[in-house]
Each structure stands twice: as C-alpha cells, then as structure tokens.
Amino acid sequence: MTIRTRFAPSPTGPLHIGGIRTALFNYLYSRHFGGQFLLRIEDTDRERSTAEATKGIIDSLDWIGLDRDEPTVFQSGRMDRHAAVARALLAAGKAYRCYCTADELAAERAQATLEKRVWRYDGRWRDRDPAEAPDGVTPVIRLKSERSGETVLDDLVQGPVRVANAELDDMIILRGDGTPMYNHSVVVDDRDMAITHVIRGDDHLTNTFRQLQVYRALGWEPPRFAHIPLIHGPDGKKLSKRHGAQFALEFRDMGFLPEALCNYLMRLGWSHGDLEVLGRDEAIRLFDVTDVNRGPSRMDYVKLTNLNGVYIRQADDGRLTGDVVERLANEHGLSAGPDAVARIRTLMPALKERAKTLVELAHAAAFLVRTVPLPMDTKAAAVLGPDAGPMLRAVAAELAGTDFSAPAIDAALHAFAERAGLKMGQVAQPLRAALTGSTVSPGIDATLAALGRDESLHRIAVAVADVNGP
C-alpha cells in the first residue's frame, strides 16, 4: 500500500502556523514511508473563500518546501460528484429527504439554548411518508445515522476514542439548493483521492465521527486518522495576535528561514531524544505521527528566534546575500549595485554570526549599500567628536599603505594604536562610526576589507570633513 496524505485547508484567510505544522506532519509522514503528499483546497464556502487566500496557502507551502506529488484539487470543482454520491445514498435507503424549514429548526435551537440543553435533530422525517411534505419546502437530504451502539476511532495520536451513536443526529449531506455539506464532501474527496491517512488538528475530532458514519453508509473502508493537538500561546491560551505572529507568511516577512520554522514546528509536539536541530532528510527518516504528544504545545517565540540564528549561521552566504539585497530594496529603499552586492557577500560570514533573523541581517548590512554622508546613530555621532578628526586622518594614511587584506589591516591598526599610545577600541570605534554610521559592526578589519580601499578611505575623508571641516 502506498501511503497517501493530504493537507486540506479552507481558503478563507491567511494560513495559520498551526496549519503549516499540520501540512508538515502530513508531508513528513508520507515521505517517511516513501508515499505521496497532496493538497486539496476546500473552497466550497463561496462567500468566504478568496483567490488571495488560495494563493497565500500555495505560496506558504512553496516557501517552506512542501512539494506536492499531484496537481492541487479544488473541492468546488467536485460538487457534482458529491451530490451524485448523496443521491446514491438516498436511492439506497441510506439517506432521506427532510422537509423541516430553516425557521422551524432555528426556533427549536433557540428554545434548547434557553433550556440549557443540547439540541439534536430528532429525525422526524426519517421514516415519514414524503407525501406528507408541506407545499413550497425544498427538502435537504440527511444521512440515516446509526442510532444504537457506538462508533470507535482508533486514533494514531489520541488512541481509542468512543462516541455513542445516539449523540450523532442525522446530519445534512446535501442542501436544498443541491450543494453538498462539508462532512460529506470530505469523505468523497478522500476516497476518490485514495487517501490512506488523514492527519489533522484535534478540533476535527467531532467531524471524524460524523464522517465515519458516511463511510459506513457507503460501505467504504475509512483511512487511518491522526488528530494532533493544537498550538497554544506561551500562556497556555489559544494562539492569537497578542502572542506574536500567527500566520505562515508573517514569519517569512519577519526574517525566519523556512527550514528553521519547519524544524521548530516539527518539534512542537514531537521529539526524538535530545535532538534539537534536524535537517529535512533526517526529519523524514525519524518522523512518525504515532510519536506525537497528545497534549497541546506552547509556542515559544524566543526559542524559535534562537533556532533561526543557528540556521542563519549554517546557511549558504550567497543565498543570504540574495535575501539581504532584496530586503534592502523592499524594506529600506536601498538599491545595491554590483560593488555593494560584492561587499555584502564578502562580509556575510561575519555579518551572519550576530543575526537571529534576516531582518536583523539586512539592517546590519545596510551600511555597505549606503552612500556618504552616512546617517549617524546617536552613539556614532558622539564617538565622532572634534578629537576624532586628526586621529582618523592619521589612521587613513596608515591604512593607505597596506594591501587592504584583513590581516594587513589588523596589523596596521594595532601598530598605529601602539605608536599613538591608544587602546584598540579608541581607534576602532571612531573608525567604525565613520565607516558604518554605527558603533556596532563585524570586526573592523573585516569591515574595512569588505568596503575596499577606495570606499573606506572616501568614507573616512567625508567623516573627517564633517567633524573638522575640509
């Protein structure tokens, strides 16, 4: 048997981080067994589904690298198939027409709420003669659910879960206008897509018992189910905006690497010993949904950010340079020409040691693209006081005589500091301010080498002129 899993979101808004984890678990489980991973867009809610949300779902999955094995299935394009199966159940006596009006049922629900009791449809049209139907009422089709015994789900995460069939009323499978209901459509789609394992959030657990009734009525073998706990905020409450980012592409915009986010989410409810950092291939080799914890997990943004820093330090410098150049253009309005790109690439090994997000990395690299006069932060301006001019002019003369490699620069600066009776910081900090507009940067030797001879000496000269005049 080929393992086939699917991720089936509704395109009614941005893809939540919990949805990304669900998709990831489906992907890892299918890949672990050499199976297939599919995407189905459940877009039958015409009023709330949008093309923008659909694009966001697909972009999110592409960004984190969850490749699908077949073209995307859109549920809205299969409504005729759903309706045909519902009518087949009707013809087989497994379903029936219900002529209750919406107003009638709404009044009964309201009364049940007032009396603080659970309302369930009582099946009044289940065995009633359709000849008694009132005029002007378009019927819905309801499933004849089992009334006795219980439905048992052997869940791969939650273990055995039981529900008395008496608690499951005869649900609508086809509306009066001929459109199918969710719990019916999902069963038909999973069957036609040959899905073997349904891995989804445990908020779907109630739906699963209703869907199992549909499987039984149709005589179809259901897939295996695995209901994973939801993600909560650090305070144990439902994850919301007050906790921080909650949508997949927000994390991209905030500068998280997709592999770092996947690593973190994979271990949010699943673990393998003390392993913290897991690449994609290792994750596929080790992951099994049966090892997922039953309890909810708590989102720890600090831990995610620290893990992202680990992945940034391991990332390819060329890849990081490309991302930084794009962010500088989009977020800072700084266009990097070939020389500036080369500077960023040269200094990237040092820049990425300090960064925990790509946003921080782009901010740290911005000085390499800027033109003089540089914007100065408060601390840099303070360092560049009147006494800094003569020292910078002398340092520039010292540097001009080197080959501008990092080792030669380091040796020249130490020699200058020793002759001048200065500590290295007293030389490096004014120099750093002149070169970057800040008092924070990678090592001063690496920074000078990345800027190059002409640009470095030009920036120092402009800084001296600003401090002391031409």
Handedness of CA 228, 230, 232, 237 (dihedral sign): negative
Most trustworthy range by pLDDT among 114-118, 119-123, 176-180, 465-469 = 176-180
Burial call 157-196: b when 16+ CB within 10 Å, e when fewer: bbeebebeeeebbbbbbbebeeebbbbbbbbbbbbebebb
Choose the catalytic residue: 55, 241, 379, 423.
241
Rounded mean pLDDT, 336-365:
97
Q: Specify the CATH number of the domain 78-228.
A: 3.40.50.620
* Distance (Å, whole) CA 172 – CA 150: 20
> Is domain 378-468 given the CATH code 3.40.50.970 in the classification?
no
Would you say how long the chain is, in residues?
470
Six token digits for residue 257: 């690497």
Convert the pLDDT of each residue in 421-457 to its tens digit.
Answer: 999 999 999 999 999 999 999 999 999 999 999 999 9
**Mean predicted lDDT score pLDDT of the chain:** 93
Residue 122 has pLDDT above 90, yes or no: no
Rounded mean pLDDT, 334-342:
96
Domain range list for the chain: 78-228, 248-368, 378-468
Residue 315 has pLDDT above 60, yes or no: yes
Six token digits for residue 173: 């499978």
Tell which phi-psi region holds residue 289, choosing left (phi > 0), alpha (psi between -120 and 50) or beta: alpha
Rounded mean pLDDT, 213-234:
95
Residue 469 has what pLDDT? 57
Residue 470 has pLDDT above 60, yes or no: no
Fold of the domain spanning 248-368: Glutamyl-tRNA Synthetase; domain 2 (1.10.1160)
pLDDT bin (cut points 50, 70, 90) of residue 88 is: very high
Residue 373 has pLDDT above 70, yes or no: yes
pLDDT bin (cut points 50, 70, 90) of residue 131 is: confident
Residue 237 has pLDDT above 90, yes or no: no
Rounded mean pLDDT, 320-332:
97
Cα–Cα separations (whole angstroms), residue 338 to 158, 255, 343, 373, 454: 56, 23, 9, 20, 15
**Residue 241 annotated among the catalytic residues of the structure:** yes
